[in-house]
Every structure is written in C-alpha cells, then in structure tokens.
C-alpha cells in the first residue's frame, strides 16, 4: 500500500538540520552555492564511489548557512533539487544518499535512480509503503519537493538504519511500483495529447474527446507504434483524417510491420495531405 497524499507547505525555511539535494546535471551547484551563500558546505554524492568518473553530473548535498540566500531564493533550484531535513552528521547523510544512487529492479538489474529530481522524487516517495519509506529515508526525517505547483511534504516519523555507499543497490523496486508509474505515464501522455489538440477539461465534450484520444492511442499501439513521438504522429493524422484511416487499405498499410513505423507514418502523412499520388 502506498503512502497517503502528502501535505502542502510553504517554501522551505532554514533550520540546523536543513539540507538541499541538487542535480548537478542541470545546475552548476558549486557556483550557485557559493554565489548565494557565504558559508555553504557541499558534497558531491559521486565522490569516492564507482561513479566518480562522471562526477561532473553528480547530485550534490548542500548544507546552507543561516542567513544565506539559497533558501530565500528557491526559484533558482526548486525545479532541479529538493529540500530535506536530517539530524545526522553531513558525512553520514551523504553516505546514506550514496546508497540510493542505484536501485534494484524486479529483474535484479541495477538502475540509476534520479531521486534528487523533483518529479521522480515525488513519484517514488508516494509509491512507498510506510515500511519502505522508513527504510529508504534512513536518517532523513522530511523531504520537501516542489511539484504540481506546490511544495509537497513527505515525513519519515520512523527513521530507519543509515546505510553507506557500499550498500548501493540495496533498495528493491517492486513490480507494483513500476506498474503504477507506467499507468501514470500513460495518463500524463493522454493529458498532454488532449492539451495539444486544444481539448479543455471544462468543455462539456471533454470526456468524449479524451475517450477518442485513448481509442486512437490503442489503435496506434495495435499498429506497432511503440515510441511516444510515433504515437503522437499517428494521433495528429487520425485526429484530422480518422474516417480515411478507417479504410481497409489504410489499415493494411499501417499494419504492415515489414516496413518500419516511421516509414509507414511518413507515407501516410504525404498521401493524406496530397503530397504524393497513389496508394
């Protein structure tokens, strides 16, 4: 069972146990930290690990100082970092976070986990049971993540053991979590497609429009269009030419998987818009 919907907070405020976890792939973390804070403490999570060769894209643990601007200017990092609280020494906290760099999939393979990216942090934390959350958090007592236009708060009232970098990969992702994320991705894609086609939720016809999008997505998948951009390409064509694409000749063409998907879509687009003649 996943955790309940998190409460919403105002922007994070300084305390002695406050830290930031920032994405080095998106931000120049050392430059930002020292330009906005006179006495920050910063630690690269990839330092001293098997990921040291790509340390330039490492997530960073940052401890802001009292009176610094890092916390008073959250817009500089809130899209590419999260706020957390922990009373553990910074060295122990960094070690525990290093143990989370990779997680184990149901296949037993290891995969990088971008738990420092707000979008993924919130989805990951919301998919955990209380026991999983306790183990994942270790010495972290609170996470604050800016997502869905607000600060979501995830509290750990039962701190688990503090792990080290040597334990990396100890956390097991369940098949249920993966299924949940796949369903969320599907819903998000449908929402994006509806927005693309100008469908508005307040419009009386929105339920029918959304149902049409879902039906067309299923058609695309039936034709073997597996990439998101391919499905969207098909949706663009079918939104305008649905009756034409229902003809048996077009069904046969789009179902012909001896041709790659992009070739089938490109031919359909050119023919439907009159750019080429013949079938």
The angle subtended at Cα 227 by Cα 117 and Cα 195, nearest 5°, is: 70
Q: Give the model's pLDDT for residue 3.
A: 52
How far is the C-alpha of 213 from the C-alpha of 210, rounded, in Å? 5
Q: Give the model's pLDDT for residue 11.
A: 81
Give percent of the chain above pLDDT 90.
86
Give the confidence band of 14 by pLDDT, cuts at 50, 70, 90.
very high
How far is the C-alpha of 115 from the C-alpha of 154, rounded, in Å? 13
Give the confidence band of 279 by pLDDT, cuts at 50, 70, 90.
very low
How far is the C-alpha of 167 from the C-alpha of 49, rounded, in Å? 11
How far is the C-alpha of 215 from the C-alpha of 198, rounded, in Å? 17
Phi, psi for residue 246 in degrees, rounded to 5: -80, -10
Question: pTM of this prediction?
Answer: 0.76
Phi, psi for residue 83 in degrees, rounded to 5: -105, 140
The answer, yes or no, to whether residue 67 has pLDDT greater than 70, is: yes
Burial 149-163 (b: 16+ CB within 10 A, else e): eebbebbbeebbebb
Per-residue model confidence as pLDDT tens digits over 208-259: 999 999 999 999 999 999 899 999 999 999 999 999 999 999 999 999 999 9
Q: Give the model's pLDDT for residue 278.
A: 56
What tokens appear for 236 in the block? 């663009």
How far is the C-alpha of 68 from the C-alpha of 48, rounded, in Å? 28
User: Residue 238: is it exposed, middle or buried by C-beta count within 10 angstroms (0-12/13-18/19+)?
Assistant: buried
Instruction: Let me know: does 121 contact 82? Beta carbons within 8 Å.
Output: yes
Q: Give the model's pLDDT for residue 7.
A: 67
Domain boundaries, the chain: 8-173, 178-272
């Amino acid at each position: 069972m996943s955790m309940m919907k998190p409460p919403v907070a105002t922007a994070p405020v300084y305390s002695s146990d406050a830290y930031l976890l920032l994405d080095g792939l998106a931000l120049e973390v050392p430059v930002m930290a020292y330009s906005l804070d006179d006495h920050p403490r910063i630690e690269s999570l990839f330092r001293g690990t098997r990921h040291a060769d790509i340390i330039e894209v490492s997530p960073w643990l940052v401890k802001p100082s009292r009176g610094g601007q890092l916390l008073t200017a959250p817009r500089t990092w809130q899209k590419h970092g999260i706020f957390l609280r922990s009373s553990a020494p910074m060295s122990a906290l960094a070690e525990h976070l290093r143990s989370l760099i990779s997680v184990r999939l149901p296949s037993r393979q290891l995969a990088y986990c971008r738990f420092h990216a707000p979008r993924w942090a919130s989805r990951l934390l919301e998919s955990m049971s209380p026991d999983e959350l306790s183990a994942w958090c270790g010495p972290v007592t609170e996470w604050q993540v800016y997502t869905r236009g607000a600060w979501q708060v995830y509290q750990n009232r039962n701190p688990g053991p503090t792990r080290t970098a040597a334990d990396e990969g100890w956390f097991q992702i369940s098949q249920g979590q993966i299924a949940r994320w796949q369903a969320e991705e599907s819903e998000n894609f449908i929402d994006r497609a509806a927005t693309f086609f100008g469908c508005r939720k307040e419009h009386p016809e929105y339920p029918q429009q959304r149902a049409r999008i879902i039906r067309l997505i299923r058609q695309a998948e039936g034709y073997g269009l597996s990439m998101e951009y391919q499905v969207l390409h098909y949706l663009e064509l079918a939104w305008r030419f649905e009756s034409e694409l229902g003809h048996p000749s077009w069904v046969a063409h789009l179902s012909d998987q001896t041709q790659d998907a992009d070739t089938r879509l490109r031919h359909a687009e050119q023919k439907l818009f009159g750019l080429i003649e013949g079938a």
